[in-house]
Structure 1
């Protein structure tokens, strides 16, 4: 409007011939000062919102950032290393206005502040709010605070997305993940005993050999997951991994940053690497373990989810053609 320069505006990136120019950083607004989303704006489309397991589904954000320092993750660096959170009272007030029976806490990591989440569980129970919840939780948080997850299971926690990432302590340490294989095993048992499904997520290193793929397959089968996903370790801009290995990138095409394509050199030929990745999706969790969960969606729901699974396999197997 004024014809002035953009440079004095805090928190903007300005394209220049020599690259992006960044203005002075702008601090995040206190999350408790933000208005609740006007969910009426999306009402006509809400029937189309779902995860693999929940429909209808509403998303609620209660925090930003993470207290962990994994070298492959940009989420903690986006907030300058701070873990920003809303008050439990604010979250409960928003939940009162959510019509859907299923709620996804789309935080970067929901359970970092154990005391806050303990308080939130109490307030949800006292308010008589009954929903199914899906959230992100770390292995070490589950192991160190099983009573917190037990409390959440009593008020509706149905599923926890857990970044397991790897099947060796050495690789977990190199990622700065801060957990061990022994803790992974404990976390699986704790959630199983509570009747909470673990959505286990693993990352495949492009450096994997066939033996590494076999080891990961054996590890996942030994833990008897009911559901597991497999993505490719990706050097996302803004991460320590990217800073250390940017010079090794085999592509900079934005559409390949989907966690299915390898962006670092692979030990195996690309086509073979992608076949091994697809093989993990097919064999790591036997169908008989997934079937009881799928069955609750009825025949139509099962077919929808099987089609989604087929698309992932197709994409993984053909990924080598996209470079």
Structure 2
């Protein structure tokens, strides 16, 4: 079977730009489509191509003509969901291919894709369920596959059997098809750090159920670690890439696994730099683990501090404290690791709170602060809690840089303060 996997183009819209001419807040996503590379790796008996529309935004029609796929699979974040529906319509008009959609929005709000132009929706982790779906399509079998919903074309609600995730769902026997995006690789850079990097997954899922986050539901709260040999294989596959970004939501969530991986990297003689997502409470509990990773090349850590006071953290169900965040920052500075700190700006912020966050970032010497706006993504607990307050329902604006709920401040002033916060953080960034 000929299978075309499609990464949608940059398509999120920016309210501050459209309404107030503030262009510095528009979010641009350009990262290696690791999820699609991983799916391709598990389809070794098929002819698979990846089309990255973030690099080549006008390439769909020509690829449909030249490749003539039997199946087209889309991935989509929430801000890309509307565009994927439009692209699926283009596929339907110009191809006889079956159309499948997966990714984070399909997992948290699958009913959104229950429409005429979609044939199947992959819900949750698709490493195992998508190849099972491909096999069923090829054999023309009407088999019920856990984690897969057949579109009813909006005639009735979707029905599917949830998948119970375990290690077998990681399907570690084949490496991601990094080669399928070789023509795009020069575009895959972390612009804020000026680094060319490759992406590797060492774990999937997260056991922490923060109310704003859509990672927990992806695997039903399970935290699954890849085999050590699998991670080493994938790092070695990216032999020409000097920096590896571990894309796990919680890279060292299993400290024992993280220790073993560090030892295996050293034993394999791998000399690269690493960026990893970690929790501040893990840093406090496991400073020696961070020290060990620094010895084998860990360059920077990304930490979701989110907020700077306990009340706000509690409202997010963060299961962490401001004191722990401060202690973790001190440890990371002592170790000489770059801190990429994620902070979430509530639409309810006052000017005083903007000032306090600015002062905190400066006082704590956060090397690269990353600020987003609290956004109730469909399917999250936050969305359920504040649904009546949402004023913007167009998913094109769900880029995490638009206030889709009313702001306490005058909206233009809110965006001006937000833009100033971003500018100050990035202009003072140290990497």
Q: Look up the match of 1:228.
A: 369
For the 8 Å contact 1:7–1:23, the answer to whether it is kept is no
Aligned to 1:11: 147
Partner residue in 2 for 1:49: 188
* 1:248-274 deviation digits (Å, cap 9, x = unpaired): 211111111100001122111221111
For the structure 1 residues 212 and 6, does the alpha-carbon distance in structure 2 shift closer, same or farther, using more than 3 Å as the test? farther
TM-aligned CA distance change 1:54 to 1:67, over 3 Å = farther
Partner SS for 1:120: helix
Post-superposition Cα deviations, 1:96-145, rounded to whole Å, max 9, x if no partner, equal 22211110111121111111001100110111111000110011111111
1:62-211 aligned within 5 A: 62-99=202-239, 100-211=241-352
Return the alpha-carbon distance in structure 2 between the equivalents of residues 4 and 32 of structure 1: 23
Equivalent pair of 1:88/1:117 in contact (CA under 8 Å)? no
Displacement after TM superposition at 1:160 (Å) = 0.6
1:246 to 380, 383, 387: 387
Question: How far, CA to CA, are the matches of 1:24 and 1:42 in structure 2?
Answer: 33
Structure 2 residue aligned with 1:35? 174
- The TM-score with structure 2 as length reference comes to 0.63
For 1:45 and 1:96, locate their aligned partners in 2 and report how far apart those are by CA, in whole Å. 19
SS class of match (1:30): helix
Q: Residue 22 of structure 1 aligns to a residue in which SS?
A: coil
SS in 1 for 2:274: strand
Q: Do the aligned residues in 2 keep the contact of 1:32 with 1:90 (CA within 8 Å)?
A: no
Q: CA deviation at 1:27?
A: 3.9
Counterpart residue number, 1:265: 406
Displacement of 1:50:
0.8
Partner of 2:161: 24
Return structure 1 stretches of 4+ with deviation > 4 angstroms. Answer: 1-7
Task: Name the stretch that deviates more: 145-154 or 105-114.
Answer: 105-114
**TM-score, structure 1 normalization:** 0.84
The runs of 5 or more residues in structure 2 that have no matched partner are 1-136
Once residues 201 and 328 of structure 2 are traced to their aligned partners in structure 1, the CA distance between those partners, rounded to angstroms, is 24
Give the Cα–Cα distance (whole angstroms) in 2 for the partners of residues 148 and 108 of structure 1: 18
Q: Tell me the SS of whatever aligns to 2:158.
A: strand
Distance 1:253 1:77 in 2: 23
Bigger helix share? 1
Distance 1:15 1:55, change over 3 A: farther
